[in-house]
Amino acid sequence: MGSIKLIALDMDGTLLNEVQEISSENAKWIQKALDAGITVCFATGRGYQSALPYAEQLKLDTPMITVNGGEIWRRPSVLHRRSLMPAATIKRLHELALQHEECWFWAYTVEDIYNKEKWLEPVDDYEAHHWLKFGYYTEDEVTRGLILEETASWGGMEITNSSPWNLEMNPQGVTKASAIRELCELLHIDMSQVAAMGDSLNDIAMIREAGLGVAMGNAQDAVKAAADAVTVTNNEDAVAHLIRDYILKG
């Protein structure tokens, strides 16, 4: 493993604690990494608008990966690439969601976020929007399994999750890992010089491909199995541990 030049951090369940805050310890060690010349990058399923305040809090002027790799930002507000989902796919995903009444759903467009309580006006105006991601949430395993089986049979999508109870759909080939590979080209570094950290299935590809892939203590079992190391939970300053014990050690 080369020396780490880029740290890619998932946000929810990783950088953020259970009350959606960045601990002072995590913030302190992120600053130490930046001071050491290491690029610190969010790699999140969140949309740009909800990730940005945290980047501003940390005063990051570094790249950002949002909506699971659907958007790659050279730095906040400077877009490098955006990967859109076809409106026809969103229509199918939405129609499937409506067949399962107990299921919450949401969808990101470039401009906005829609969900079960706030959908398009008029409701079938799919083509008027630029779509990035669709998600389902249900704690009913049978329903979730049926939705996964149905959508997987269509092809053309990356299907992951950001918690054990949801499913997230991006265009095929669009992952946090594909976005990090592209960032590595921009930064003239190798994937072996990347440390990646996360807790859910949308983090597995980047954890596998990074030189150092770390799973959270609170990660799903499949993520832990894919990782080089497993650390403490998101309520125990895991990012500080990563930077202090693995990256700036000694």
* CB distance 213 to 207 below 8 Å: yes
* CB distance 54 to 32 below 8 Å: no
CA 175 to chain centre: 8
Specify the length of the chain in residues: 250
H, E, C per residue of 176-211: HHHHHHHHHHHHCCCHHHEEEEECCHHHHHHHHHCC
CA 2 to chain centre: 24
Both structure tokens of 1: 């493993």
**Residue numbers annotated as active site:** 10
Task: Name the residue with tokens 């080939």.
Answer: 173
DSSP secondary structure code for residue 26 in this structure: H
Indicate the burial class of 209 (C-beta count within 10 angstroms; 0-12, 13-18, 19 or more): buried
What 3-state class would DSSP assign to 92? Answer: helix
DSSP secondary structure code for residue 89 in this structure: H
Distances (CA, A) of 77 to 30, 67, 108, 148: 21, 15, 17, 34
